[in-house]
Amino acid sequence: MFLDNTTFDLILRGLVLTAFALIWVVLLIRVTGLRSLSKMTNFDFIMTVAMGSLVAGAGQASEWSGFAQAITAMVGLFLTQYVAARMRKSSDAVEAAMQNDPVMLMRDGVIDYDALKRTRVAESDLIAKLREANVLNFSEVRAVVLETTGDVSVLHGDALDEKLIENIT
pLDDT digits (tens, 9 = 90+) for 41-71: 777 888 888 999 999 999 998 888 999 999 9
Average pLDDT over residues 133-148: 94
Give residue 40's pLDDT: 73
Instruction: Tell me the average pLDDT across 11-38.
Output: 88
Please state, in angstroms and as integers, the Cα–Cα distance from residue 105 to each residue in 45, 122, 124, following that order: 22, 11, 13
Indicate the pTM of the whole model. Answer: 0.70
- Domain co-membership, 9 together with 92: yes
CA-to-CA dists, residue 24 to 19, 126, 150, angstroms: 9, 39, 28
pLDDT of residue 5: 63
pLDDT number for residue 4: 58
* Choice between 105 and 94, residue whose per-residue pLDDT is larger: 105
What value does the mean pLDDT of the chain take?
88
Please check the confidence at residue 132 and state whether its pLDDT lies above 60. yes
Of 81, 97, 113, the residue that ends a domain is: 97
Both 89 and 111 in one domain: the answer is no
Number of domains in the chain: 2
Q: What residues make up the domain containing 109?
A: 103-165
pLDDT for the residue 130: 96
Q: Which residues pair with 152 in a beta bridge?
A: 146
- Cβ atoms of residues 57 and 68 within 8 Å: no
Same domain for 44 and 16: yes
